[in-house]
Each structure stands twice: as structure tokens, then as C-alpha cells.
Structure 1
Amino acid sequence: MSELLNTLLEQEEDLQFDAFLNEDALQLGLTIIELAKAEFQKGIAVHIENDQHPLFTHYMAGTNEGNSYWIKTKKNVVNHFGHSSLYVGESYKAKGTTFKESAGLPESDYQGEGGSFPIIVRGAGKIGTVTVTGLTGEEDHYLAAEGIRRYLNRA
């Protein structure tokens, strides 16, 4: 397994919650938005949901209807495979192919691009997703993962 894939799996192991409530979704979403403003000065969309329904959605200035497509297709990958959308896309590349060529899933519903990260509660497993779109897949992934890290490490 490549170093990148190992790093992405380690993130999923490290970035877990003891519990995840609606208020956590709100505060995590705001953390990600502030991080995007500080580091990228570009509009992003953030969508956080548990496995039942949306808990937080925000579209910054500069986003458009295309961001809704990317939210849907990235989070569907996490829900299908149980790993971050970046991990899934990179795992296909490590096999010498691409998600698009080999996943056997419709592009209209699934994209193996970075930006969606599983919400994992210790002892319960994956209970939802955090999805960011508006930058490159790697930058979207960074915002989702770093946002979770900062939220978990808050004072």
C-alpha cells in the first residue's frame, strides 16, 4: 500500500469522535468555513450529514449549482465504500486504473475525488459524512480532515 493510502487510513483512525450531535455538525461546519476563508480566500460549499439526514449545509459566495453535484457524488462514494472519497480514488490509481474506469458505478451518482470524509464515532463506526467542494479534490479533502482535526482539538 502506498504511503498516501496509509496516511489517509491513519487520518480515518485518528479523526474519530466520542459522540456526534447536531451541535457538533454546526460547529464543525463553521470551523471548516473559517479555515477556508483563512487559507484559500475562495468560496466553498460544506455539507455535513448523519446517515439519516442533513445537519449543516452552507454555500459561500462564488459557489454554484455544480457544487451540489459534487457534494452528492463525493458523499455517495464514502457511503458506498466507507472511506474518504480521496482514499477511494487513490486506491484505484494505486491499482493502475481510475475510479471512473473501474468502479462500475454511474458517474452521475459517484465520483472518486477528494472532499468527502466519514464521520466516525468510536464504538459505533461511520455515522455520516463531511463533504467539501469548490477547490481541488486534495484541497477539499484537506479542509474536511483539517476541520475535523481542529474541531476535535478545540480547547
Structure 2
Amino acid sequence: MTATGSTAVAELIVQLEAEQRELVLTRFDNDDAWRLGVLLVDLARERGAAVTIDIRRGSHQLFHYALPGTSADNDSWIERKCRVVARFGDSSYLVGARGRLAGRSPLERGMDPLQYADHGGSVPIVIAGVGAVGTVTVSGLPQADDHALVVEALRHFTTT
């Protein structure tokens, strides 16, 4: 990785860490999962984005919706991204960026690529005073866009 590339990845890591500190909820129940999921579906529809959306508390899937143009492959990506968040407690995009900065592949970091995908799109659901309790995941767009869609929805959700 070039010095310029390293700087860009380091700046991305700082941004992603700040987002994660910002996106903290006061509560999260099944009804919240429904509202957040519908918000994501609406945002995706407005943009004509063919994505699959998944929301979990722990391993319990509370919301799952696949917009037209998606496939079972998106479900596989969701599973692999969720495993990264569950294992590391950080967004899948942040884990991937840290790996790129370190110059180490997922396999070199102990992640079988058939089981883990450190690509953007899965963000931990964090409750103040509790910690990470689940995940919000989007699959179908380039990784930065998957991540940005989740962040946009969580920002909106934390203000309503």
C-alpha cells in the first residue's frame, strides 16, 4: 500500500470509529427492529437500490427483507458480515479497513473467507450502558455504500 493509500485508510478508520461512537441507542426491541428495517427499505427504494436488509439482536433475526434484484448470494454476504461484527464488536467495514492498513488478509487474521466477510455493510447495534446487542446489515451495493446506507438509517433512527 502506498503512503497516500495508507493515509486514506487511516483517515477512513478515524471516521468509522467516530461513527460507531455516535451511533448509540438508548434501547432496542423488536418493534424498533421493525421500524429501523422499514426505514432502510424505504431509503433503498427511494434510491432504486437492490439490497437485502437484515437486523438481529444477538443471533435472533428480527427483520429480513430482500428488494427486487437481489439473490440468495446477498444472504450469504449478510451471514459473513454479521460474523465479523459478532467476533470483533466493530462494523465489518472498520474491521476490513484495519486489516488493509495492517497489510494483512482476512485469512492472515484468522478469518476463513467462506465464513467471514470484512466488507462494509454490517454495523453493531449498540445500547448506551449495555454495549453491542446485535447487527444491522445491508448487502447489494459497493461496500462503502452498504455501510453508508446503514449509518444514514441509524442516524435518522437515533433522532426520532
- Pairs aligned (count): 152
Distance 1:14 1:102 in 2: 30
- For 1:16 and 1:52, how far apart are their aligned partners in 2? 20
Q: Residue 43 of structure 1: CA displacement?
A: 1.3
For structure 1, which runs of at least 5 residues remain unmatched after alignment?
A: none
SS in 1 for 2:68: coil
Aligned residue identity for 1:69 = S
Taking the aligned partners of 1:52 and 1:70, their CA distance within structure 2 comes to 16
Read off the aligned partner of 1:96 and give its amino acid letter: G
| 1:121-140 equivalent positions in 2, closer than 5 A | 121-140=127-146
In 2, Cα distance between the equivalents of 1:38 and 1:3? 30
Give the counterpart of 1:102 among 105, 108, 115. Answer: 108
Distance, in Å, in 2 between the alignment partners of 1:15 and 1:69 is 25
Matched, 1:87 2:94: yes
Match of 2:38 among 22, 30, 33: 30
What is the CA deviation profile of residues 70-122 of structure 1, one whole-angstrom value per residue up to 9, with x for unaligned ones? 010000000000000000000011112332x4222211110110000000000
| Aligned-pair Cα RMSD in Å | 1.2
Q: Which residue of 2 aligns with 1:43?
A: 50
Q: Secondary structure at the match of 1:56?
A: strand
Q: TM-score, normalising length from structure 2?
A: 0.91
After TM superposition, give the deviation of residue 42 of structure 1 in Å: 2.3
* Partner Cα distance (2:59, 2:115) in 1: 18
% identical aligned pairs:
34
2:84 aligned residue:
77
Q: TM-score, normalised by structure 1?
A: 0.94
Per the alignment, in what secondary structure is the counterpart of residue 58 of structure 1? Answer: strand
**Could you tell me how far apart the structure 2 residues matched to 1:52 and 1:67 are?**
18
The equivalent of 1:55 in structure 2 is 62
Structure 2 gap segments, 5+ residues each: 1-8
Q: Secondary structure at the match of 1:2?
A: helix
Letter in 2 for 1:108: L
Partner SS state of residue 106, structure 1:
coil
